[in-house]
């Protein structure tokens, strides 16, 4: 490698240039990266519907707590989560209703990397029944607000046309993010095109995860994945040994630092999932599993009470997961096969 350049190379030959290395060094200097995920617009609106119903039942005004939450309410919630939970993570992920607000960075704090969600909540429908991601905001528009980007693609290996369209789309977005000199976090979510039960989806998940990882994990700087589930709707469908076996195979395929997402499971299951594979990953990328419980509590009937309950619920959970990460997790530079002398000096690896 040329000594005048500061960069590293992943195991598949993809380069990570100096601007990205500097961002990662600033926010995750010890190699571990815990990410608070607060970007899911549809899930936020669903949680807010339950919270607002409790507020109305306690005498709250429907104008303040409407039956259908609006963009402004998602923005308020995003800001509250940034203030109450954001500083407890190395990075935090929000959508544009959050990160484009004036003063949002100040609420999050200067020591937390701000990641911006790029994809639209509503993907396109392919001719084969699969989903094809589309942008809600371009990387070029988002870059003024954020330190890094995140993209989610919802895929089904049984839908080849949509599968190929997502790969082509993600490849283009990856190139654009690289040009802006900021890290890209790629998330995949197995989403069957056919109408199957949650139990059937869980049974298909282990095999689907391997196929998805082989095709999508070589884009971006980090790869965020589901893991097989231990139980679905009260029925046991797996165990920690099976979870670990599956992710071990995936880790052998993936050429990027691995983050473990919660995929809408409750905290008890996420704790089991993460603990089973923490040594194969850089860290967690989790949101609702930490903080969703207070939104359905009928005793919580104001924004102030919600903020207090979210902090009381989420902060101990975050501490438990991060404790596992610090003891077992890999550093984010473990996937580099080459690091220039200048990059080693920057990262303190000499």
The string of pLDDT tens digits covering residues 317-330 is 999 999 999 999 99
Query: Average model confidence (pLDDT) for the chain?
Result: 95
pLDDT score of 228 more than 80: yes
Where are the chain's structural domains? 32-43+79-330
Domain at 32-43+79-330: CATH architecture: Alpha-Beta Barrel (3.20)
Do 193 and 159 contact (CB within 8 A), yes or no? yes
Q: CA dist 345 to 11, 150, 293, Å? A: 20, 28, 44
Mean pLDDT of 25-53: 96
Tokens of 107: 């609420």
| pLDDT band, very low/low/confident/very high, at 194 (cuts 50, 70, 90) | confident
What integer pLDDT is reported at residue 4 of this predicted model?
58
pTM score > 0.85 for this model?
A: yes
pLDDT one-digit tens code per residue, 108-120: 999 999 999 999 9
Nearest to 52 by CA among 42, 62, 65: 65
pLDDT one-digit tens code per residue, 251-305: 988 989 999 999 989 999 999 999 999 999 999 999 999 999 999 999 999 999 9
Going by the DSSP 8-state scheme, the letter that residue 86 receives in this structure is G
**Residue 321 phi, psi (nearest 5):** -65, -45
What integer pLDDT is reported at residue 2 of this predicted model?
44
């Amino acid at each position: 490698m040329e000594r005048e350049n500061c960069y590293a190379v992943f195991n598949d030959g993809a380069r990570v240039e100096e601007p990205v290395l500097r961002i990662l060094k600033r926010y995750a200097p010890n190699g571990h990266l815990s990410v608070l995920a607060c970007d899911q617009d549809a899930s936020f609106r669903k949680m807010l519907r339950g919270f607002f119903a409790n507020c109305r039942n306690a005498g709250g005004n429907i104008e303040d707590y409407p039956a259908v939450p609006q963009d402004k309410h998602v923005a308020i919630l995003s800001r509250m989560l940034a203030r109450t939970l954001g500083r407890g993570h190395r990075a935090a992920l929000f959508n544009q209703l959050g990160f484009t607000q004036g003063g949002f960075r100040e609420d999050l704090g200067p020591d937390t990397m701000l990641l911006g969600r790029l994809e639209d909540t509503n993907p396109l429908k392919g001719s084969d029944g699969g989903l094809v991601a589309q942008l809600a905001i371009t990387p070029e528009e988002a870059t003024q607000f954020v330190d890094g980007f995140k993209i989610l693609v919802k895929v089904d290996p049984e839908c080849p046309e949509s599968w190929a369209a997502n790969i082509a789309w993600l490849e283009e977005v990856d190139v654009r993010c690289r040009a802006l000199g900021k890290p890209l976090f790629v998330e995949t979510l197995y989403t069957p095109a056919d109408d199957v039960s949650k139990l059937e989806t869980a049974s298909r998940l282990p095999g689907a995860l391997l196929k998805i990882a082989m095709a999508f994990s070589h884009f971006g700087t980090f790869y965020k994945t589901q893991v097989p589930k231990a139980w679905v709707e009260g029925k046991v469908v797996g165990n920690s040994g099976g979870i670990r076996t599956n992710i071990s195979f995936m880790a052998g395929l993936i050429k990027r630092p691995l983050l473990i997402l919660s995929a809408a499971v409750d905290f008890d299951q996420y704790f089991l999932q993460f603990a089973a594979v923490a040594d194969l990953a850089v860290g967690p990328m989790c949101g609702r599993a930490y903080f969703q419980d207070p939104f359905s509590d009928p005793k919580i009937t104001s924004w102030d009470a919600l903020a207090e309950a979210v902090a009381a619920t989420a902060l101990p959970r975050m501490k438990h997961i991060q404790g596992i990460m610090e003891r077992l997790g890999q550093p984010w530079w473990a996937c580099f096969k080459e690091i220039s002398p200048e990059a080693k000096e920057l990262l303190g690896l000499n």
